[in-house]
Structures are given as C-alpha cells and as structure tokens.
Amino acid sequence: MAQSIDFVFDFCSPNAFLAHKLLPGLAKRHKVAINYVPVLLSGVFKATNNQSPFHAFSENRQKSAYLTHDLHRFARRRGLSFHMSPHFPLNTRFAMRGAHFASGKAWGIKYINAIFDAIWVHGQKVDELGVLTEILHENGLPVRKTREAIGSADTKQKLKEQTKAAVRRGVFGVPSMFIGDEMFFGKNSLANLELELSNLR
C-alpha cells in the first residue's frame, strides 16, 4: 500500500491550484499522506526545454480561450472557487522560497493554502514582497522568519536543488504527482492516480 503522494508544485500554475484543492480528499479516501514538493517552474521549463501551454499557444486565440474556459469549467463542476489571476503569468520565486521554508513545519499547509488562494481565488499579486507580507500577517503565519528565509541564499540554493532533483525524477511541468516512481502529470491525471492507489490496496 502506498504511504504518500508526492505533489510537485509551483503556485504560478492554475492547474496546480486545482489539483491541490482536490488532493486532500483523494488522499483521505485512500488513507495516504501528501508530501508537498515546491519547485521553480521556470527552472523546470529551462531544464526540459518546455513552456506553459498559455505561452506555447499565445498566438492561437481559440486555443488560449479554450484553456481558460476549461480551467473555469473544471473548477465549477467540482464546486471550487477559482478566478484566473489578473496578474498571470506571475513570478512566484519569493512565494516558492517561502514554501520551501514552510516545508515540514506545523503551519506549512496553512502557508500553501494561503498563497494558492491569494493568487487563484483573491487575485493578489504575490510577486510583490509587500503583498506577500500582508498575506502572512492576515493568516497568522510567521512573518519575520519567513521574510528572512525568502532573502536567504541558503533557501534560494536549496529550492534550486530541489527543482533539479524533480527534473531528474522526470518532472517537466506542474502539477506532477508521484506514487513511488510512478508519475502522474496534470490535474486531469487525478483519476488515474486514484485508480493506481485503489490497485495498491
């Protein structure tokens, strides 16, 4: 039986946000934990010669419009609050350094929830440190220690190393989810991930 799901994510991805909202219920049904693995999507793209579908199809108005429509439809049919960020695409390097610092801490999930919601529910511009600080305050998160970590060369380097490790594991985009060595990419692979968990019982 699987012990955990590794969830490789970057806050900048609307698909990662939607997968993040559904994973806890899935994990609860199968009695497994979720291991959150923050990475820099820009670093993943650079290492794998990949790019966002919104960038890849930026000159195809029909495809771009469909991608946005599909995000809203996916959320609506599952009863999820979702709004396309008015600041998309976002630079989330500060927020992701914070996520790395929060990993394994008692308030780590609270941080992840707060930042994801700030971007994809409330439309906040988290690439500005002032805005990020306000979110920390509003959610009762450790402001000073998180801000220090965000500016730390050590945190920056460890996040880069974690990104490289994810690429070595086969990650080319987010959300990527693992059960052992088996990878599932994208929010639409959640059904296959759940089948995999069912087969491991």
Who contacts 175 (Cβ-Cβ below 8 Å, separation ≥6)?
7, 8, 9, 13, 15, 16, 19, 20, 185, 186, 187
Superfamily of domain 11-199: Glutaredoxin (3.40.30.10)
Domain ranges in the chain are 11-199
Q: Distance (Å, rounded) from C-alpha 182 to C-alpha 127?
A: 33
Q: Which residues of 1-35 are buried (b: 16+ CB within 10 A; e: fewer)?
A: ebeebbbbbbbbbbbbbbbbbebeebbeebebebe
* Per-residue tokens: 142: 């450790």
Residue that the structure tokens 């700030």 belong to: 118
Q: What string of pLDDT tens digits covers the 201 residues of the chain?
A: 568 999 999 999 999 999 999 999 999 999 999 999 999 999 999 999 998 888 776 788 999 999 999 999 999 999 999 999 999 999 999 999 999 999 999 999 999 999 999 999 999 999 999 999 999 999 999 999 999 999 999 999 999 999 999 999 999 999 999 999 999 999 999 999 999 999 987
Is the model's pTM score more than 0.85?
Answer: yes
